[in-house]
Structure 1
């Protein structure tokens, strides 16, 4: 993807020099593609938004309308919170200034923490179901 129009971070189009801020930009664009169902460049993006997916998403989020970016087909599957979190990660990875972007370590850490929370919640839920079943059995006896 490096060097492909739509995936190159602002300011790197001329130098083609890899930087930590640039390394996270392209995956951020991919995250935005996944939740919007749109390609990184296209006619549907107005020049006032940079003429690309990143500019369009960033303008929607700044106008407090980020939810309008979500792909309605995917949204219908009931994964709204996951889509919003993915949109947030893509937004943070594609900040205009490299110093404002997440680092790859931060992206990995957020996903690791999210995974651990989901695992813990699953096990707590299962434990509560088991405890509830035991109470019912004890009450019947």
Structure 2
């Protein structure tokens, strides 16, 4: 979705000084979703840049801060299912270093499970995206 100084969703009503048309904004909100398969809770974090390894691990940190202490105590290890994209590849040292730091910080082991290329449809988070895309509000924002 575009980030900008918009009024009434881009629709004008008479003379106004709001920026109500596409001003060539290039900045977008990028979602990162975390699905807790045990509880069915979906956590969404939006960043205003590209999806990077830092954004993914920062989103995990925000999720960890958001869950309760009792939820944290029930977690033996964190299992993350990923699509092996360029930002979270198992050979990307920046991503792996950040994950090791996050694991040390929260005191939990982390398992990274990668889906083979072109099989991300089996990742449970992909079903969440499909459900969200069926809602008019989610679809009303321009795609990047």
TM-score by length of 1: 0.21
Q: Which has the bigger relative contact order, CA under 8 A and spacing at least 6?
A: 1
Larger Rg: 1
Instruction: Select the structure that is richer in strand.
Output: 2
